[in-house]
Homo-oligomer: A and B are copies of this chain.
C-alpha cells in the first residue's frame, strides 16, 4: 500500500472533507443555488483577506491573478518598484516587463527581506512611481516580508501596494485593510487547502480608482467586468465550479478554527520545524523565516534535490528542493493549509531516515523529539 504525504509549499494537502465535494454532481453556475454559494464564499474570502473590499475569484493559477493585478491598474511606461528577492519577486518583474512598464528593481539577497526605509527613499527619489509590487511569503526562500512597515510608506501616497500572498495567506499574518494594502493576490492550493485552479485578489478603493485610468489590454482577466458580476454574486465567464464548491467548505473550516488561532498554530509549527532542523545540525536558510514554509540548508555533501527525490521515492514524503541557484542547496518543508502536527512528525521521521541513507549522521528520533517538546507547550 503506497502512502504519500505532501509537505510541499503548494499544492498542499487537501482534506477529505474538501475532496469529497469534488466528487459531487456538477451544478450549473447561472443558478440561485450557485449564486448562494458564491455569496457565502465572497464573505468567507473577506474574512481570510482581512478586508471589507471585494475579493475576486479568477479561474486560473495564482499567476493569472498576479498578471491581472498588473494589467488592470497600470498603463504602458508607468514606473513601478519591484522587490526582487526570489523567484516570485522575479515573476512580478517578468510580468511588468511584458506590459512595457518601467521597472525599478529593488534587488535583495535570496533569504533576506526588503527594508521599508529603502522603499521610502526610492519613492522619495522617484515621484513617477505608480505602484510597489512585493510578496508576503517569498516561497522560493521561505522568507516573510514586513508588509506592515512597507504599507506605512506607501499608503498615504498616490500609489498602489500590491502583495503576492499566494503561499503566505492564512499562515503569515496580513491585515489588508488595517495596514493599507491595495491588492492582495492569492491562490487556492496553499492556505486554502484546495486543488490548484483558482486565483484570488482583493481590491481597495484606491485600486479601483487606478483601474479607471489603466489602458493595458485584458479580457479574461478584466477585473472591471469581474467586479460588475461580483455585485450580483456572479462571474463573467464559466467559473471552475467544483473548486468554488470546495472553497465554501474550506472557508468554513478556516472560520471554525479561527484565522488568528491558525496564525498562532502555524507560527508554532514553523518554530518546531526550525528547532527540529537545528536538532539535526541543520540551519534554517532564511533571515526572516516565514510561518508558511521553512527552508533548510542541506548538509554540505548532500544535494537537496537528491534528498528530496530520495525522500519522495523511498518514503513517500514530498518536500521541495530550492529554486534557481539554490536548487541543490536548500530544501523546503511546508506548514500551511491542512498540515497538522502529525504530518510534521511523519515528515521529520522519514527525513531522518533519508538523511541517514545518504550518509548524514543522525541520532534517531532527535528531530521528532524536538517537535514534540515544542508543540507540547500547547497548540490551540
Task: Tell me the A residues contacting B by CB distance below 8 Å.
Answer: 4, 6, 8, 10-11, 13-14, 16, 19-20, 22-29, 31, 59-64, 66-67, 71, 94-95, 98-100, 187, 189, 195-197, 216-222, 237-243, 312, 318
CA distance A219 to B16 in the complex (A): 34
Smallest beta-carbon distance A311→chain B, Å: 12
Instruction: Report how many copies the assembly holds.
Output: 2
Q: Are B25 and A196 in contact (CB under 8 A)?
A: no
Judging by beta carbons under 8 Å apart, are A26 and B6 in contact?
A: yes
Query: 4 tightest CB-CB pairs across the interface, nearest first?
Result: A197-B240, A22-B22, A195-B242, A23-B23
Given A28-B6, A95-B219, A98-B218; A196-B240 close (CB under 8 Å): yes
Give the distance to chain B from A246, nearest Cβ to Cβ, in Å: 9
- On whether the beta carbons of A13 and B26 are closer than 8 Å, the reply is yes
* Residues of A contacting B: mostly: loop
Q: B residues within 8 A CB of A8?
A: 28
Contacting pair B237 A63 (CB below 8 A): yes
Query: A26 — which chain B residues lie within 8 A by C-beta?
Result: 6, 11, 13-14, 19, 189, 195
Bound-state Cα–Cα, A243 to B194, Å? 12
Give, as a whole number of angstroms, the nearest-CB distance from A102 to chain B: 14
Residues in B with CB closer than 8 Å to A195 are 22, 26, 240-243
- Asked if B31 contacts A312 (CB within 8 A), the reply is yes
